[in-house]
Structures are given as structure tokens and as C-alpha cells.
Chain A
Amino acid sequence: MALVDKKIRKTKSLVKRGVVLFLVGVFLALILNLLQVQRNITLFPAGMLGDLYLSAWWVPPVCGTAAVCIGLMYPCVDVKLGEPLRGKCEWSNVIRCLAVFVGINHASAKMDFANNLQFSLTLAAMSLGLWWFFDRSRSGFGLSLFIATIATIATQLMVYKGFYRYTEPDFLYVRSWLPCVFFSGGVTIGNIGRQLAIYEQEVEKEHSS
């Protein structure tokens, strides 16, 4: 009976976390989209973009599900590898990470760079910095890298297959921008997921004790 209870509770918590993560993912996708749209308006001539507000309707849900996966994967990987992060787990840290992530995107959207190499280098450096500041675990690094590669490959496949057109003229620019965004996004979402997991654990402890 207790085991069933426990299982129910566990699934409940999982579902809760999943919902939160989904919402966060969708929201972030929207915001980033807005930023990109802004960038296009300021820096690139009109007439190339189909829709001003959404590049494609299915992007936010996909991002949401991706966020759910990442957010749930992180704590599991942590537990599996045996490096639970206890030190820096506070909500303020998580929010800070999120804000820095949005800031990086904001900056990349607003600024125009002299050449793409500079842009990609800067962005890569900022992403690494984000990881270093808010999550110094190797598992986090590895997982984010993995996610970034997977996502880039997926996007390329989609473009190849013609499901999604690049609206931006510069290929290379997008190529350098996308993995960095996925990397830092992965770190951020992972942090959120970890924090949620710990929060749930503590709530559970309170309930049980």
C-alpha cells in the first residue's frame, strides 16, 4: 500500500514537474522568437518573412516537449552518475540562470557583428560562461552538448527535408547561433529541472517526516 502510495506520489510529482517544464519551454520559445523577429526587423529588409509573429506554429510545442525531456533527464542523470548537486541549488540561482540566458539571446538579437566568426565565438564563449557559472558539473556539460548536437542535426534534417525554411539569408550565421542557443538552453532547463526535482524531494520529505 505504501509502495503504491509512493508510486502515485512519484508520478504526481513527475507530472507536475513536466507541466512546469513544458510551460517554461513554450514561453521561452515564444520569447526567443520575438527576439529573432525583432532582429529581422532591425537588421534585415522586409518582405522575406512570412509571418511577423510566429515562424511556425509548431515550434513552441516542440520546444516545450524538448524542455520536458531535458528537465526530467537531468536529475536522473545526476542520480545515475552519483553527483548530486547540493550546493548551489536555490531558486534565486535558477532564476538568475534563466535571466542570463534570455539576456544572451537578447544581446545576440540586438547586436550586429562585424563578421560571423566573431559572433559565433562570442556566443560560444557566453554559453560556456553560463555553464561555468551556474552548473559546473561534467554531467551537465555532457548532456547539454549532446542535446545541442542532436537538435542541430534535427534542424538540419528538417531543412533538408524542406519542412522548415531558413528565413535568414545567412546560413553560417544560423549554423553558429543554433547550437549555442541549444547548449545554453539545455543548461538552463536542466537547472530548472534539477531544482524542481530537489524541491519535490524536500516536499516529499516534509510529508513523510
Chain B
Amino acid sequence: MLQFYGRQRNNHHQNYVDFFFGAPSNVLKWMWSRLIDPQMKLLKWVQDLVSSFFYHHGLFCARYPELMILVSGVMVVLCCMPFFSLPMSMTVFHQYTTPLTWFHDPSRNFHTNHHLASESYSDNQGMQPQWFSKPPVGYVLQVVVNTSVYPWQQGLDKHDAFRGPLAKAFDINADIKEYVSSQGQATKSLCYYVTQTAEELQPYIPQHSCLVISPANAWSLDYRKFLLDAKPVKSLLNVESVTGTVKPDLTELLIGFSPWHSGFKRHTIRSRSRQITYAVTLILHTYNESFVRGLQNHLQKKYNPPDLQEKWSSDETILHIHYKSVLNFQDISVLGFVYCLLLLYVYFSVSRIEMVKSKWGLALSAILLVSLSPLMAVGVTLLLGVETTLNEGEIFPYLVIIIGLENILVVTKSVALTQTDQDVPTRIATGLKEEGWYIMKNLCAGLIIVLWGYLTFVPAIQEFCILALVAMLTDFFLQMCFFVPVLSLDFRRKEHDNCAQSQPLPDVAIAIDFPQSMKTLSPFDTPSPNLPPGRPDRPTKVPFAILLASLRILQRLIMTFLLVWIVVSFLFIYHSGLAQYIYESINSNSTISSATNKVPRVKDHLEYLNKEFLDNNGGDPLQDHKVNRDVGMDISSLPHPLNNFQVTPAVTFPEGENSLAEGTERFLLSLWLSNKQHWRFSAWHWPALLNFYNISLSDRYISILPPIKLNVQVGPEEAIRLRLESEKFRFDSYKDTRRDDEDYWKTEQRDMPQEYPHYNYYLTLFLGVASGASLVILLLLLCWCSQVIRNKTPKYFMNVAIPKYDGQLQQSTQCLKGHKQEVEILISRKGRFVSACLGGEIRLWDYDGREVMCLDRASHHNRMKKSHSVGSLNAMLRGYSCGKTRSLPRTSSSSPFSPYEGMSDPSSHFGSPPGTGTSGRSLSVSSMDMETYLMEPGIDHGFYERTDEHARSVSPLDELLVSEEFTPDACSPIWCLAFDDEVLMVGCSDGKIELWDINFCRFITSYEESTVGITDMVLRRNQLVVSRLDGTLQFLVLQREGRNSGAPQSPLLPGSPLQNGMCHGLAVDAELFSLNTLHEHKGPVNKLILAKNKVVSAGQDHLIKVFSLDGNEHHHTLHGHTGAVTTLCYNSSCPNVIVSGSTDVTVRTWDIESGNQLHRMKVHQSTVLEVTLTKTHVASIGGDSKLCIWDQQQGLLVHTIQFDPGCSNSLVPLGEKYLITTAQGSLIVLDILSGKPIQLVDLGDKHQMIHHIVAGTDNGATVVCDYGRELRMVQFHLERSKSD
């Protein structure tokens, strides 16, 4: 379909035919494709996204496998931890509920002689499970007590919140035990009688009496002991240690359910009202409805506030839990069979792994993975609070089967099938990418199926589906984070083996790997033939510090330490309750309590109360808790000690009601609502409890009656009273030991909880700040380290004993002398090159090493200056008109100067202001011929007399001598040169363009349109483009006149010795005409190059502009650089591409045709000084002394070589494969593909800076560089014999 669509786009003609003569199905197809196309695009986009995710993940895992394995291990441990707190029991429980109302105890059949109506019994007969026909072990009746100290007042401390509620447990316990119903049934007769228990448990649970459990049992039902306890919660919670690590522990059994829901907190900071819930558990052996209801009424009447009576509703049910022992034949056999199937499955799957190095290793990790996922799933569900009724042992094999090992096999196969020449991370990433979509599809399909299963609304299936869902997700996570790194490790080992087989590794110290970030392209991994493979050529001793740094041990240590510290501080914060404090202070809309508790001075208190106590009661009042309560009543009639302090109800109701009763009710009701969920009790509670008495519940069941709910409110006075009593008791007991008053107060103060929440607060704050600060520092350190390592490229020291490479490139060096001063400019073209020195000498050489020509500009300039002083000359020359033809008189026989007539625009080139307009023509006066003319005796001096207008008959020689304007100042420095076969152009700093004839080494003319210095110029045939300091580009045309019509002169023979200034030969007359002057750049133009038939200018104003050679067309402006463009390069082997470097440290390649930037490459840290271009690569040298080689097509960095600072300034390609760069006193030849220097050409003095280097364009095998005052020409023989 899509193909058709594509065809339609490309092939209109075909489509035309199809439309009219084809079947109408074509139209349908076309419409269908239109519809589907956007969806397909979306799908494709999603697929691409998934593929790229998998690719990058694969790369990451393969690069840091150990880290990933560690992370996944940590996650596994975290998720599996709750799993170990599950009670390991061999029973499975089944639940069965019956309604309460007309429930008949089947045990009645056995215990009493009541004859039940058979209809009511047999009604349910069919539906009842088999185990139900027997009587249960017992009936559990829980009295759930919800208490708190209300209303909270200032002056209450945090222990008060617990002590009051706990004291109620004693009361309720006693009440239950002594209850006698209206029909005369006592609890004692109906309860379940228990006998002896283990020794360590004896103080805590009842023995030889009714089984009634409450938190009061923590103090062995001894009220006195309870009062002696300064920290009741702590001792209650510490009871759990008696039973060890078996869950549920004793605390849970005493409280009735998990302490999480009870409100007991071990560590508290704030004093506030807390809602405490616990249960008093009573187990009956028969169910008597009237008794139970009577008990309920009694308790509720006694403890509940009057309005709140919660009765059992009519649809309350009794829950029967049957504990079926798993150890029976059928279960075991079926389970065994399933496990066998699982093992077979695993075996068959694992045997399909192939093409890997270590099959066993991968098989083990696969098995580990697939068995850990369900465990993790169970752990995670437990963490989330979902407790399953399924037996984990039973469903484990099914979970594993559902997860399956397919993904692992598929990934392994796909990675094994990738190309072996790539490096391991790429292989892993590619393999993973191939299969990524398939994995995601499978995962989604699995999730959908599981969701579908969830919708069946069968609870067991729903639980299983939840587990399966979590297991699938954890399996996916483990696959990605555990198996992929393991796979990469395996493949790495395999690769090492392969490498070891092919080339034996030298037993050298660890060769440091190039950091991966540098080598972003790996296909150029082929080592250069003369170096041993796999080892960079460097000194073999590796310092230990570098080794440490490369292994990043220090960083890893710091990281683990910090992780541990953060975890510890968070735990500390959590335990100190700070989080809760903050949470509550944010959420509470009432000021229940403040941190600044005005604690009543204990001393005053106790003294006062002591007095009162002893006065009122005399002796020890606390024998029975009942008496206690009476005392409490009395106390409240006393003047309240706290009345001195502010006693205000700290809670304000949002409705603003003042009626306390209503407020109470609302408050308490809200307590209940928030507590509904604690009814998810653990079914393992009862077996654990009965286990203490060696009563086993296997294959028996227990019935849980609906709980009796009590709401007890403890008043603040009572809480305080309890506290004071407790303190008094402690005081009393201390008094027995005859402690001193002072000592007592001291101990009292020590016992008193330090009400300094600020201390903890500040400590945690400090820890948090310290952690945060160190985290930030660590991150910065990591970034810096990674940067350092990235930049830690091997240095190639020039002076260190790096051996001179056994250069297989044969070279021959030639020394070219001649200049008197340092060579400043060096340019080359075709078979010749030109050098210019500081002294103004210009020499032309060819690539055989012969000097072709020498121009002494300085002397010429001096001469011109001299003749400038001669006024007559001046005037005379002013009289010259610019004509078309002129001849150069060589000898007396030559035609004389033909005076120009009709001079319209006289302009002198001797410093007079430039002529008008842009289309001025240059007055070309050859000073040399003037001189010769003057010197020659035979010259017709009448020449001077001809120009009558300005004639002055002064002897020029005389004038020369007496000229006062003769100053031997230097000629304007040369800034750029351009030449072709006949003429040489000199661009000067004063804006002049001097034309010189090469063959006859004589000055032709000069163009002085402007005084702005010429920064660069290019010459192509007759077109000259000149760029100036002010950013103007001038497009000039060179018009050459033919030879003079005089006697043929022999042209300069190559090889003949040249004389300074006195060359003779055929003359070329030339003139420059300006075509266009364009003010294009806002700053000076740094470089001009010729690219194809266009000229490209690089400006200081960050722009690169492309023009036609005549300046008529401005093709493009290349925007992109953010700094001045310093260098440009063009290579005819790759047309259309130019490369530029700039001060913004980037190197960019551009397409001249379209004007688009092709690539932007940024590695240098400082200005890019030089760029050069070969067919496939771009090389750049920056101010940071780095040489970077880039791949031109992709714009990616291939190699980076660091030189000594100040070493290399320029760079040319040598042939197709090499680069030459300059260093101090030598040249370095680098191989482009391997990025390694392969040859060092020593030119002599190691301290001589070499500035320029140019390559001969004939075959690129010769280079010329300046060497102080000399030139060095090095010829390479590029065809070398391969050593292998």
C-alpha cells in the first residue's frame, strides 16, 4: 500500500495510467493508505523512539556494567527484604464467613444437648466446606479500644499521651475477667483455658487461666509495675525481643495487631495528643450469643461516651479461618510435578543459548534473574501493603513460567549476530536496538493480558494478576539492568580471547584506554603498520597515580561513602520524627500543641502532690488500681496544680462550637473513620498465639467474632494524675534506697525527657546541610575529574626520548639561502613558490630548488623615493598621462618614451592624494626605466622638453644629489602576495598594490586607490580580488598588454643568474582596473581564498561571504561563527566544501553551492589557527596546541593530538594520507587515519621556530618551510614499501 503511495508521488505518469485504466481497487488502496499513513507515521515514530532508547541504554550498560550490576543488586536486596519477614509456615489458610445473626455453634451438638432445628442447619450444608463440620478451636473476641488523651493541654508531656490510654488496658482486662452476665454466665466458664507456656514467655502471657491478652500483659498485669515504668511505650515495644525474630512478634500479639496501626511510637519528639488503638483479646471456647452481647453492652456502657454506642449491625459476619496443612500427599505431589515442569522448562530454554563465551555463566544469570523476579514482586507487593492469601510457594513456578526466558534468549541471539568487528558497546547497543520493539510489544501484551485477568473479579485471580504484573515489571527491570551488563561482560571476555588469539598482547603495564568520548568513530581503528597493534607508542612505565585515576577508585570510594552517609542521615531524620513533625505542622489546622511546653517545675509539683497525697490518704494508697481511681477522683477536687498555668483548650473546632460533648463526638467519630483499615489483620496472628501453648491449628479452624469497639477518652487531668502517681511511685521506690533529695532531683531530671526538640532539630538540619554541600562538591569533583580525564590525551613531547620514527617516508632536505632577513611570507603556486622577507626582498623559487627571481623592493622603493625628491621628475611625471600603450626603452635604440597626450586625469603615485572616483586609472610609471633612461647617455633628453607644460630642465642627477626629500625610510611592509606566471602582486600595508614583472623582475606599476592596508588577495588569471583592513573587497581586473612591439628580446632564461634589479627580458605591461569595490565586512577581512570560481572572504565580523570573481554577484553569506573567522581552506579534491576556523574555537564546514553549514566541530579550547582539508578529513590546529582530525562526512572528531605549546602553527596535507605540521626546528608527519605522528623531520636547530609551511601542488610531496632566514624544502617519496 505504501509502496503504491510512494510510486504515486514519484511517478505521476504511471499513476495517471493506473487511475484511468487500473482497477478501482487502486483508488481504494490509495484512500486506505491516506488513512493509515499518519498512523503508520506515528507508529514509526514510536518505534524509532523505542529503538533509540534501547540503543542508548545498551551503550550505557555496556560501558558501565559493574555499576549496573551493583545497582540492580541493591534493588533486588531492597525489594526482597520484606519477603524475609513473612512468617514461614507450612500451612495455608482458607477463609470462610458466616453471618452472625442466627449462627449456631456446631459445637453445641457436642457440648450441649440442644437439638437444633435441622432445617436451619442443613440449609447451608451443601455450601459449607468440609472442615466446617467440626467445632473450631475457639472463638476470638477482640475488644478494640480506641483511646486518646483529649482535650490536649499545655503542660502535658509526651509520655502522658500513652500512659493514660495504657492504664485503661488494665481496667478493661479486669472488667472482662470478672464479668458475669445477667444469665449467670461468667467469662471464666466460657473462656478458653490455657496451661503452661515457655519460660521466657511466662511473665507476659497468661498461664493456667483464661486466655485474655492485652497490652497490660507487658507488665504482667501488675499496675504497680506499670507505674514504676517511666517509659511505658518503650517497654511495651521492647517485649518483641522475647520471641525473637519470629513474626508476628509478642508486641503484636499483645497489642492485638501490628504496632504500625496502634499509634505506639518508640521515638517521639512532640508532645501532642495521640490516638492509641489496641485490642484486648479474649478467646472463648463456646459461642453464646447472649453472653457476648451482654459483655458488649457492659463494656460500652462503661467506657464509651454516652452517645456513642456501637452495636453490631445485623449483617456482621463471623470469619472462620481454616489452617490447612500443606504437608499432605496430594498437594506435595502436584507441587512437585509443577516444579519438575519448571526445571524442565528452564533446562530447555537455557540450552538454547549459544554463540556466547560462557554458556554456564549466562545460564546461571538467566536462572537467577527469572527466579528473583517473582521474589522481588512479592517483596514489592508486601511493601505496598498488599498481603496475599495465596501461598507463594505454590504460585512461584507459575509466575516464572509466565515471565518466561524468551526475552533473554532473543537478546542474546541478536547481540551474537551483530558484526564482530565493532566494539562491544556498539554490538550490545545494536543487538538490543534490533529486539527492542519486540521486547516492548511482548511486555505490553503481557500487561494487557494481566489486566484482562484482573477484570475477572475473582479475588484469587486478581491477586495473582497483581503479582504477575509486578513480576513482569521487575523482570523487565532486571533484564535491562542486570542481564545486559552481564552479557556485555561476557562478550568483552570473548573479544579479549579473540584478540589474544590473533595477536599476543605485549606484557606491558596497563595501556590506558583512550577515553571513549574522544573516539567517537571507531571504524578507523586500524593501527598503522609499523606500530605494534593495540599499544600506543609511549613510554611503557605507567605511573601508579594514573592507574588509580583511570580506575577511578577514589571517585567510587567517595561516592559509596556519600551514599552511605545520606542513607544514614535520612534514617536519622526519620527516626527523630522530624519529618512527621514538619508534616503535621504543615497539615494541622489547629494548634494542638506547641513545642514550647511549659513544663511545670517537677520539684514544686511533686512536693505539693506528695504532701497532698500523704495528707489525704496516709500510707501507701496504691494497692489496688480501683483505689487508685478513687484517689484520682479526689485529686481532681483539689485545687489543680496546673491552674497556675494557662489552661486553655488547645483545640479549636473549625465550626466554633463550644459544646464539648458534641465536639467530643465529632472528634471521636473521626478517629474511627480514619482507623477503618486496621481491620486487615494478619491471619498468622492466631496460630502464633496458640503456638505459645503448643496448641496447633493445622487442619483446624478458628472463628473470629466481630470486634467490640470501645472509644475511651482519657481526660488530661487523669493523664497528669497518672504521671504524678508514677513519679511518686518511682520516688517512693527510690526513697527506699535512701537517695538524697538532690540526688533524686538529679536522677529525676535525667529521667525526665529532655524537652529540647530543638537539639534534634538542629542536628538533623546540620546533617542535611552537610550532606547537601558534600553532594554538590562531589558532583563538581566528578565533573572536573571527568573533564580532566577526557582531556588527558597522551602528550607527545618533542624533546623526550620518543624515538625518531623509522620513517619509511624517504625524504630529502634542501636548504635555500638567500634572504638577508627573516622570511615572513611564503606562498606557493603550481611549480613555484615565493618568499618574502622582512627586508622587503621577494624571491621566487621553483620546486627544484632553484631561485628564479629576486626582487628587491626596498631598493626600488628607495630609488623611487630618491626620484621623488627630484621636483622635475615629480612635475614631469605628473605630466604623464595614463595611456594605453607604453614602451620601455631598454637601449638607446628602443623607442623613446612616447609622451602621453591628452592626459585627462593626471595622477602621480608618489604620495599624492588618490585620484577621483573609483574608476581611476593607475599611472604606471616605471621608475626603473626612468633611471635607466636617465643613466643612459643616449637617451633623448628632449623627452623632458617635450612636455612643455611642466618642463623643467634640470639635470636629474643633480637633483638626485641635492634632494632634501630623500629619506631612506623603509618601504611599506608587505602584507600579502599573489603571483602567476608573469606578474607578481604585492599588497602593502599602505594600501598599495604593486605589480612586478616576474620574468624581467621589474616593477610594472602600482595601484594606489586607497590607503587602507591590504590584508589578503587572490589572483586568478586576470582577476584580482583584494581585501582591506576596513572590510572592503575590491575586485580588480588585470589588463596585460602584450609585448612591446620593439625588438624581440630574449626572455629570461631559467637558471641564469639574476642580478638585483637589472633584469632584462620581455616586458609585460599591465594595469589594474577596478571593477567593484564592495564594503561587505564590518571589520577587517582576515582571509581570502579561491574556491572553484568563487572567492570567499572571512571577516572579523564573524561572517564568511562568497562572491563571484568579478564582484558582481554576492552568492552567499555564511552565518554561524560566533567569533572572528581566522582561517579558511578549500581543496579542489572535494569541491563545494570549504572549512573555516574562528576564535569561537569551532571549526565549521560549509557548502558553497547552497550556503549551508555542513558541520560544526568543537574540540579546541582556543582560537583555531589553521585548518586544512583533504578529501575525507579536516584537520585543524588551535591555539591550545592541539591538532584535531575530523571526519569530513560526518563531522566527527577522529583524533586529537596534543603538542607542546607554541609548537605548531601551520599545517598542510601531504598527499592523501598525511599531514605535515611544524614544530620547533622540525617537521612532523602525521598519518591521518591513525592520527599518530609517524615521522619527525629534523631540520637543524631545535630552537628555530618555523612559521609557515607550504606544499607544492604538483604531487603534494614537497613542502617548503621557512627556517629563519633560510628556507627548507623537504621532498618526500610517498611510495613506500610496505613492511608487512
A residues near B, CB below 8 A? Answer: 27, 31, 34-35, 37-38, 40-46, 90-92, 95-96, 98-100, 102-103, 106-107, 110-111, 113-114, 118, 121-122, 125, 129, 169
- Ranked nearest first, the 3 interchain pairs of A and B with the lowest CB-CB distance are A92-B348, A91-B348, A92-B349
Nearest residue, chain B, Cβ from A132: B449
- The answer on a CB contact under 8 Å between A42 and B344 is no
Choice from A41, A90, A95, A129 contacting B341 with Cβ under 8 Å? A95
Choice from B401, B456, B460 contacting A118 with Cβ under 8 Å? B456
- The answer on a CB contact under 8 Å between A43 and B460 is no
| Shortest Cβ gap from A22 to chain B (Å) | 17
- Which of B124-132, B139-147, B370-378 touches A? B124-132
- The answer on a CB contact under 8 Å between B130 and A46 is yes
- The answer on a CB contact under 8 Å between A169 and B449 is no
Interface of chain B, main secondary structure: helix
B56 beta carbon closer than 8 Å to chain A: no
Q: A95-B348, A110-B460, A113-B458 are in contact. Are A44 and B341 (CB under 8 A)?
A: no
| Shortest Cβ gap from A125 to chain B (Å) | 8
| Shortest Cβ gap from B412 to chain A (Å) | 14
B461 beta carbon closer than 8 Å to chain A: yes
Give residues 1238-1268 of B contacting A (CB, 8 Å).
none
B405 beta carbon closer than 8 Å to chain A: yes
Which residues of the partner chain B approach A113 to less than 8 Å between Cβ atoms? 458
Q: In the bound complex, how far is the Cα of B1238 from the Cα of A19, in angstroms? A: 75
B398 beta carbon closer than 8 Å to chain A: yes
Nearest residue, chain A, Cβ from B324: A42
| Shortest Cβ gap from A162 to chain B (Å) | 23
- The answer on a CB contact under 8 Å between B345 and A96 is yes
Choice from B125, B337, B452 contacting A31 with Cβ under 8 Å? B337
- Which of B229-237, B326-334, B431-439, B919-927 touches A? B326-334
| Shortest Cβ gap from B538 to chain A (Å) | 52
- The answer on a CB contact under 8 Å between B341 and A99 is yes
Q: In the bound complex, how far is the Cα of B488 from the Cα of A51, in angstroms? A: 58
- The answer on a CB contact under 8 Å between B397 and A111 is no
User: A99-B338, A99-B345 given. 9 additional CB < 8 A pairs?
Assistant: A31-B334, A42-B94, A43-B129, A91-B348, A106-B338, A111-B458, A118-B458, A125-B452, A129-B449
Give residues 72-100 of B contacting A (CB, 8 Å).
94
- The answer on a CB contact under 8 Å between A114 and B458 is yes
- The answer on a CB contact under 8 Å between A34 and B460 is no
- The answer on a CB contact under 8 Å between B128 and A45 is yes
Which residues of the partner chain A approach B125 to less than 8 Å between Cβ atoms? 45
- The answer on a CB contact under 8 Å between B397 and A99 is yes
Q: A100-B401, A103-B398, A118-B456 are in contact. Are A42 and B330 (CB under 8 A)?
A: no
Q: A37-B330, A129-B449 are in contact. Are A111 and B130 (CB under 8 A)?
A: no
- The answer on a CB contact under 8 Å between B129 and A45 is yes
Nearest residue, chain B, Cβ from A33: B330
B404 beta carbon closer than 8 Å to chain A: yes
Q: A92-B352, A113-B458 are in contact. Are A103 and B401 (CB under 8 A)?
A: yes
Q: In the bound complex, how far is the Cα of B404 from the Cα of A92, in angstroms? A: 10
Q: In the bound complex, how far is the Cα of B133 from the Cα of A46, in angstroms? A: 9
Q: In the bound complex, how far is the Cα of B348 from the Cα of A129, in angstroms? A: 23
Q: In the bound complex, how far is the Cα of B341 from the Cα of A99, in angstroms? A: 6
B1075 beta carbon closer than 8 Å to chain A: no
B1201 beta carbon closer than 8 Å to chain A: no
Q: A38-B331, A102-B341, A129-B449 are in contact. Are A90 and B348 (CB under 8 A)?
A: yes
| Shortest Cβ gap from A44 to chain B (Å) | 6
Choice from B334, B338, B456 contacting A122 with Cβ under 8 Å? B456
- The answer on a CB contact under 8 Å between B330 and A38 is yes
| Shortest Cβ gap from B395 to chain A (Å) | 9
B650 beta carbon closer than 8 Å to chain A: no
8 A-B pairs in the complex with CB atoms less than 8 angstroms apart: A38-B331, A45-B133, A92-B345, A99-B342, A106-B334, A118-B456, A118-B458, A129-B449
Q: In the bound complex, how far is the Cα of B342 from the Cα of A204, in angstroms? A: 29
Which residues of the partner chain B approach A99 to less than 8 Å between Cβ atoms? 338, 341-342, 345, 397-398, 401
Which residues of the partner chain B approach A37 to less than 8 Å between Cβ atoms? 330
Q: In the bound complex, how far is the Cα of B449 from the Cα of A155, in angstroms? A: 32
Which residues of the partner chain A approach B130 to less than 8 Å between Cβ atoms? 40-46
- The answer on a CB contact under 8 Å between A102 and B331 is no
- The answer on a CB contact under 8 Å between B337 and A102 is yes
Choice from A35, A41, A129 contacting B334 with Cβ under 8 Å? A35
Q: In the bound complex, how far is the Cα of B293 from the Cα of A193, in angstroms? A: 65
| Shortest Cβ gap from A47 to chain B (Å) | 9
Q: In the bound complex, how far is the Cα of B564 from the Cα of A95, in angstroms? A: 45
B residues near A, CB below 8 A? Answer: 94, 125-126, 128-131, 133, 324, 330-331, 333-334, 337-338, 341-342, 344-345, 348-349, 352, 394, 397-398, 401-402, 404-405, 449, 452, 456-458, 460-461, 464
| Shortest Cβ gap from B452 to chain A (Å) | 8
| Shortest Cβ gap from B1226 to chain A (Å) | 67
Nearest residue, chain A, Cβ from B405: A92
| Shortest Cβ gap from B371 to chain A (Å) | 15
| Shortest Cβ gap from B533 to chain A (Å) | 42
Which residues of the partner chain A approach B94 to less than 8 Å between Cβ atoms? 42
| Shortest Cβ gap from B83 to chain A (Å) | 22
Q: In the bound complex, how far is the Cα of B453 from the Cα of A100, in angstroms? A: 15
Q: In the bound complex, how far is the Cα of B450 from the Cα of A129, in angstroms? A: 12
Which residues of the partner chain A approach B341 to less than 8 Å between Cβ atoms? 95, 98-99, 102
Which residues of the partner chain B approach A107 to less than 8 Å between Cβ atoms? 460-461, 464
Question: Could you say which of B125, B334, B398, B461 has the most chain A C-beta atoms within 10 Å of its C-beta?
Answer: B334
| Shortest Cβ gap from B337 to chain A (Å) | 6
Which residues of the partner chain B approach A90 to less than 8 Å between Cβ atoms? 348, 352
Which residues of the partner chain B approach A31 to less than 8 Å between Cβ atoms? 333-334, 337
Nearest residue, chain A, Cβ from B449: A129
Nearest residue, chain B, Cβ from A106: B334
Question: Could you say which of A40, A106, A114, A129 has the most chain B C-beta atoms within 10 Å of its C-beta?
Answer: A106
Question: Could you say which of A38, A96, A111 has the most chain B C-beta atoms within 10 Å of its C-beta?
Answer: A96
Which residues of the partner chain B approach A102 to less than 8 Å between Cβ atoms? 334, 337-338, 341
Nearest residue, chain B, Cβ from A28: B337
| Shortest Cβ gap from B469 to chain A (Å) | 16
Nearest residue, chain B, Cβ from A101: B341
| Shortest Cβ gap from B409 to chain A (Å) | 9
Q: In the bound complex, how far is the Cα of B947 from the Cα of A205, in angstroms? A: 116
Q: A31-B337, A45-B125, A46-B130 are in contact. Are A96 and B458 (CB under 8 A)?
A: no
Nearest residue, chain B, Cβ from A102: B338
| Shortest Cβ gap from B389 to chain A (Å) | 11
Choice from B330, B397, B401, B405 contacting A34 with Cβ under 8 Å? B330
Which residues of the partner chain B approach A98 to less than 8 Å between Cβ atoms? 341
Nearest residue, chain A, Cβ from B349: A92
| Shortest Cβ gap from A113 to chain B (Å) | 6
- The answer on a CB contact under 8 Å between A122 and B458 is yes
Q: In the bound complex, how far is the Cα of B345 from the Cα of A99, in angstroms? A: 9
Nearest residue, chain B, Cβ from A133: B449
Which residues of the partner chain B approach A91 to less than 8 Å between Cβ atoms? 344, 348
Q: In the bound complex, how far is the Cα of B343 from the Cα of A92, in angstroms? A: 10
Which residues of the partner chain B approach A125 to less than 8 Å between Cβ atoms? 452, 456
Q: In the bound complex, how far is the Cα of B464 from the Cα of A129, in angstroms? A: 16
Q: In the bound complex, how far is the Cα of B449 from the Cα of A27, in angstroms? A: 30
Q: In the bound complex, how far is the Cα of B330 from the Cα of A125, in angstroms? A: 27
Which residues of the partner chain A approach B349 to less than 8 Å between Cβ atoms? 92
Which residues of the partner chain B approach A121 to less than 8 Å between Cβ atoms? 456
Which residues of the partner chain A approach B133 to less than 8 Å between Cβ atoms? 45-46
Which residues of the partner chain A approach B397 to less than 8 Å between Cβ atoms? 99
| Shortest Cβ gap from A88 to chain B (Å) | 10
Which residues of the partner chain A approach B333 to less than 8 Å between Cβ atoms? 31, 34
| Shortest Cβ gap from B34 to chain A (Å) | 31
Nearest residue, chain A, Cβ from B131: A42
Which residues of the partner chain A approach B331 to less than 8 Å between Cβ atoms? 38
Q: In the bound complex, how far is the Cα of B699 from the Cα of A41, in angstroms? A: 12
Q: In the bound complex, how far is the Cα of B592 from the Cα of A100, in angstroms? A: 58
- The answer on a CB contact under 8 Å between B129 and A42 is yes
- The answer on a CB contact under 8 Å between B334 and A34 is yes
Nearest residue, chain B, Cβ from A119: B458
Q: In the bound complex, how far is the Cα of B342 from the Cα of A38, in angstroms? A: 22
